Amino acid sequence: MTVVSISMPDSLLERLDRFAEDHGFSGRSEVLREASRTLLDEFEDPRLEERDLMATVSVLFDYQTTDVEEALIDLRHEYEDIVASNLHSHVGNHNCMELFVLEGQLDDISEFVGRIRATQDTLLLDHSIVPVDDLGGDLD
């Protein structure tokens, strides 16, 4: 197995170690392998391929990190063909939330979410995807 070196903040490393211990993982590497598989498989659901989809994407960030907001504005314009709606809201004393409603194909939605994930200083990213071509269809 290839050894890979990564950089991460101490606080994240501490959380990773606690998670491994609390959930019975043999160590950091096992947790990171599982997280990598989950992330990579996230948008490889054959039930969603070649379908018209709707997605909601929520992003939370500290309002003082203007780089995040600027990156999200740029993404909204770059992906205007799939961004059906966008809402900005203030959450608590120091945070902002961007909610995106997307309509499109899995590849485009996956790319949009991946670009947000790659944006530094986001505090939270959550999303859901549903097919709209057959809302009575079965995703089980």
Q: State which of 15-24, 37-46, 68-77 shows the largest mean pLDDT.
A: 68-77
pLDDT score, position 76:
96
Rounded Cα–Cα distance for residues 34 and 101 (Å): 29
Q: Which percentage of the chain shows pLDDT scores above 90?
A: 49
| Separation in Å, CA 128 to CA 21, 35, 48, 87, 103 | 29, 18, 12, 16, 12
Please state the rounded mean pLDDT for residues 109-130: 92
Rounded Cα–Cα distance for residues 77 and 81 (Å): 9
pLDDT at 72 over 90: yes
* DSSP string covering 65-89: -HHHHHHHHHHHHHTTTTEEEEEEE
Please state the rounded mean pLDDT for residues 32-40: 80
Of the candidates 76, 69, 79, 60, the one whose C-alpha atom is nearest the C-alpha of residue 124 is 60
